[in-house]
Amino acid sequence: MQKVKLINIGCKVNFAETSTLKTKLEEKGFTITEKFSDAEIVLINTCTVTNNADSDCRAAIRRAKRESNGAFVGVLGCYAQLNSEKLANMPEVNAVYGIKEKFQIPELLGSQLRESNKSIEVSELISLNFDFAYSADNLARSRCFLKIQDGCDYRCTYCTIPNARGNPRSIPFEQLPEIFREVSDKGFREIVLSGINLGEYNSKNMYYFEDVLHLIAENDFGVRFRISSIEPNLINKKIIDYVCNSQSICKHLHIPLQSGSNKILKLMKRRYTSERLFKDILSIKSINPDVCIGLDVITGFPNETDQDFQQTYKFIENLPVSYLHVFTYSERRNTPAADFPNKVPMKIRKERTNILKQLSNSKLLAFYRGQIGKIHEFLPEKYSENEKIQFGHTSNYLNCKIISDRKLENSFYLVQINEIDTDNKIIATLK
């Protein structure tokens, strides 16, 4: 049967979907290969969150055709949904699949491989069902990304994702216990709850994200759960309590702040003020100072003056957060912000990104230093036979290495945080 190479670009939801597609291809008799040279078909799951993501996807398509010596190249995912014509015009592309069609690929491939014409299978985003997906190909088989929510209708002015992913939808609540057990039985020990706007989980207007956390906190599924990301407006007392106190929920929150300036947040049509998030973060840290909090920030949004940027810088500097993911604003087609006046020159956007990246490094170091001497729950991931080092993460997302002459079992360990290595990894020892 034909050999397929899969390439994933983008977020945790994409990763989960690529893994599920892999399973569906195998069920249909295709063989998965890691090597371009073996591949007769290359499928690329794309992302369109920024201009950089778009160009990464186009580069991946060109590379796939070149290194596979002319294999059939199919493109799916968000970029494919929004730019099907453009992608179909690339000489390297044989087929384009939309969000609705991605899991039909194993069936569609049969006839497409026989035809010489390009195929565009992209339908409109109406009456979307929830497509279940979780990653199953983490080499260490310790952590799995489980999609429980898809889509978003917030319409933030810079974001193109609602056009690519459609309206919010969620996996039915009643199915969750069985799925959690199934994933645990497969040997995974950490489930990263994933979604496009995860906190908007809503099962038939009866069960919300807090209910998912309640289910997890009240039952032992043999795994720990990590929240991939939550919008600031959706953080509430119950969620804070679960993250700070539940044994089964990782002490880690990733929050898309985007800006510390209320003027910019308003222009972005975000649904919170910086003061509100400030209060919530202080409340989390006062209950449990070990919780790791990361923020997404966008630099150079239209109308962001030096003063606005300074406000963002000072805001983050004063917040007890542990790291930042910094994105340089780029105009996305069909979004309101693309037509906003007072654009910030690209050079300044990038300078601001670099300044925040430096702030992120010092925040991470300060967080790591504050953890020395503490004891945390550790889950092993990759093992390096050459260096005799076991890598993995603690519940509060400390990136640790442990000197060990053997690979540790796929299970939870208590470790003591000892020191910070030159590569900014934490050296820990088993307790």
Which residues here bind ligand SF4, judged by CB under 6 A?
152, 154-156, 159, 161-162, 196-197, 231
Question: 232 vs 392, which CB is nearer to ligand SF4?
Answer: 232
d(CA 350, CA 353): 5
d(CA 418, CA 431): 11
Minimum gap (Å) between residue 277 Cβ and ligand SF4: 14
Minimum gap (Å) between residue 134 Cβ and ligand SF4: 20
Question: 4 vs 161, which CB is nearer to ligand SF4?
Answer: 161
Report phi then psi at 177, rounded to 5: -55, -45
Question: 121 vs 231, which CB is nearer to ligand SF4?
Answer: 231
Minimum gap (Å) between residue 296 Cβ and ligand SF4: 9
Asked if 428 and 378 touch (Cβ cutoff 8 Å), the reply is: yes
User: Which residues are registered as beta bridge partners of 297?
Assistant: 258, 326
d(CA 202, CA 298): 28
Q: At what angle do helices 209-218 and 237-245 cross, to 10 degrees?
A: 30
Question: 71 vs 152, which CB is nearer to ligand SF4?
Answer: 152
Question: 154 vs 278, which CB is nearer to ligand SF4?
Answer: 154
Instruction: For 322-385, give the secondary structure using H, E and C.
Output: CEEEEEECCCCCCCHHHHCCCCCCHHHHHHHHHHHHHHHHHHHHHHHHHHCCCEEEEEEEEEEC
The radius of gyration computed from the CA coordinates of the chain, to the nearest angstrom, equals: 22
Minimum gap (Å) between residue 259 Cβ and ligand SF4: 12
Minimum gap (Å) between residue 4 Cβ and ligand SF4: 29
Question: 18 vs 197, which CB is nearer to ligand SF4?
Answer: 197
Minimum gap (Å) between residue 153 Cβ and ligand SF4: 7
- The token pair that represents 359 in the structure block: 């702030």
